[in-house]
Structure 1
Amino acid sequence: MAQPPPPVERTIGERDLTDWHSRLGRYLANSFTAIQQWTSARLLLVVVLAVAAGLFAGAVMMAGEIYESVMEQDGVYVFDQPLMTWVMAHRNPSLSPGIALFSDSGGPVWMPVIGAVAALAMCLAWRRWTPLVLLLLGAAGSLALTVVGKRLVGRARPPLQDSIPPHEYSASFPSGHSLNSLVIAGLVAYLLLAHISSKVGRWLLVIGMSLYVVAMGLSRVYLGHHWLSDVLMAWVVGIAWLTVVITAHRLWLTRAFTRPADEDAARA
């Protein structure tokens, strides 16, 4: 008996991911579809990367405002020390170990494990490589952005005497835990949304993942491992990269589902 075809992450509820509602989205999808009809796969990849770079540039401009405030010590920077002082005064020793354990889930050890397990589970359940490809792409990009940001800014973390062990010694800006957890959690949620039929279930997933991301960022400030502006920068850059990866996937879906119709029309 033939097995049913593996599911495709084309829709989220009643929303067709190959249907672009905004004018920019329609222009992007139409251009992408037109280009792939007469160009090679390699050139098409270059075009996709160029589009991704353009999308990312917009978010970089927003992140630049946070970066500038840190370098010039104004803007959101002025809230860093007052917030850290308030957090230190309100820490609960009985909660701190649990918060530290939770924060570890977004670190360089457990976040790759969580992402790998999620990708493997979805690949096996849906018999598709899409989850693995998207999560690898998302993780590689977020890691690269974290490393580049830390080396570019080289900002010191809050003083060790103000933080809760185990201490961390890498540069502070941006928060790698916050950035990487946002990208991985966001991609897992995006993939799962296409396979949850209940609207309530989809809302619960979005709320749950959002709370996880926010809690991860706040935990970094609570533990004294990052300033508030480190976390804000991570969120802005993480949302930007998440948008790029999801947009690339939607373009791939658009190409995959329009190509047969185009080929039939050409033969006719």
Structure 2
Amino acid sequence: MTAREPKTPETGVRGEVNQDRFVGGQDLTRWKSPIGRFMVRIAQRITAFLGPYAALVITLAVGLAVVLALALVFGEVYESVTEADGVAGLDHPVLDAAKSVRSPALNVAVTAYTDIGGTIGMPIIAVVIMIWLALRRRSWTPVILIATAGLGSLLMTIAGKQLFGRARPNLSDAVPPYEHSPSFPSGHSLNSIVIAGIVAYIIILRLETTRARVVTILVASAFAITIGLSRVYLGHHWLTDVLAAWALGIAWLALVITAHRLYLTVRARHAQHVVS
């Protein structure tokens, strides 16, 4: 778009795609695998009938169904594994180690910190960041990505807790205020890694230096990891609940990012077709 060219919705979308498609010199619209190219063809067909955002939403919906199925399968495997002595031997020593370093002051500090990733703190943070990014970018993309990522992590948490009902550590081993919902998966851990991850991804798309991208990834990772470990420290979850939540969160993040890459690819190819 030149300085004299009027900014229309089409040119605005084209500019957003061009800004988002390269990360460290890597073109996110280039698909090397046959599966990736197949998904691009499907997304192009959906876009032809329903529009680009509809294609993004449908892709995310399909991804959500896949990850929920993955959560069920993962939960079955997890439930079988946690009955074995090996994993039980991991959970209890870690909890004992956490109990050994507790102090009244540290308990208060960790409780306040873990609340950031809770059912009140995490949604507030997600909504504020989502609105800020949407206004800054003048795009619905952050709204769709963050809202969908958060919804997926919430549904996985609810489904896992209702289906498997794993007991939390004994209240005598926990720091109040106590929690009584099932232990698997750790909702704090799952939601924090998903929200931190998708926000980091959206921010990285507009960062120009490797150093800035690395710092963003480190900050997001540190937040997700420390929220998860805080659940073990407080005795509100077993370590394996947290590890499972991280695995599910990373899988869901990969699907959300793939859906956005498909959106970028379809828009980039459409823009190239219009120019040619």
State the TM bucket, normalised to the shorter chain. 0.7 to 0.9
| Mapping 1:1-268, distance limit 5 Å | 5=12, 7-8=16-17, 9-33=20-44, 35-36=45-46, 49-50=61-62, 53=65, 64-70=76-82, 72-262=83-273
Deviations 1:110-137, CA, capped at 9 Å, x for gaps = 1000001101111111111111111110
After superposition, the Cα gap between the structure-2 partners of 1:10 and 1:38, relative to the gap in structure 1 and judged at 3 Å, is closer
Shift of 1:56: 6.9
Contact kept? 1:13, 1:194, Cα under 8 Å: no
AA at the equivalent of 2:213: R
Give the direction of change, closer, same or farther, for the CA distance of 1:44–1:86 in structure 2 (3 Å limit): closer
Q: Which runs of 5+ in 2 are unaligned?
A: none
How far residue 159 of structure 1 moved from its aligned partner, in angstroms, is 0.8
State the secondary structure of the residue aligned to 1:157.
coil
Contact 2:43 2:263 in 1 (8 A): no
Give, in whole Å, the separation in 1 of the partners of 2:189 and 2:145.
19
User: Structure 1 residues 128, 261: CA separation in 2 closer, same or farther (over 3 Å shift)?
Assistant: same
> In 2, Cα distance between the equivalents of 1:169 and 1:28?
42
Q: CA separation in 2, counterparts of 1:156 and 1:235?
A: 19
Q: Quickly say closer, same or farther: Cα 1:45–1:130, change in 2 above 3 A.
A: closer
Structure 1 counterpart SS, 2:184: coil
* CA distance, structure 1, for counterparts of residue 270 and residue 187 of structure 2: 39
Matched residues in 2 for 1:19 and 1:91: separation?
Answer: 50
Contiguous gaps of at least 5 residues in structure 1: none
* 8 Å contact from structure 1 (residues 52, 248) kept in 2: no
| Whole-angstrom distance in 2 between the partners of 1:80 and 1:24 | 38
Asked if the contact 1:162–1:224 (Cα under 8 Å) also holds between the matched residues in 2, the reply is yes
Indicate conservation of the 8 Å contact 2:168/2:236, yes or no: yes
CA distance in 2, matches of 1:48, 1:205: 24
Aligned 8 A contact 2:63 2:256 in 1: no
Amino acid at match of 2:80: E
Provide, for residues 178-222 of structure 1, a one-character-per-residue CA deviation record: whole Å limited to 9, x for no partner: 000011000000000011111101000101111111111111000
TM-score by length of 1: 0.86
Alignment partner of 1:95: what SS?
Answer: helix
CA distance in structure 1 between the partners assigned to 2:191 and 2:39 by the alignment: 27
Q: Give the Cα separation in 2 of the matches to 1:69 and 1:75.
A: 8
8 Å CA contact 1:176–1:234 kept in 2: the answer is yes
1:17-47 CA-to-partner distances (Å, cap 9, x unmatched) read 21124454334334543x4477666899767
Alpha-carbon distance change, 248 to 19 in structure 1, aligned in 2, over 3 angstroms:
same
Q: Is the 8 A contact 2:56 2:263 kept in 1?
A: no
| Percent of pairs with identical residues | 40
Instruction: Determine the C-alpha separation between the residues in 1 that align with 2:272 and 2:62.
Output: 26
Amino acid at match of 1:80: D
TM-score norm. by structure 2 comes to 0.84
- C-alpha displacement of 1:52: 6.1
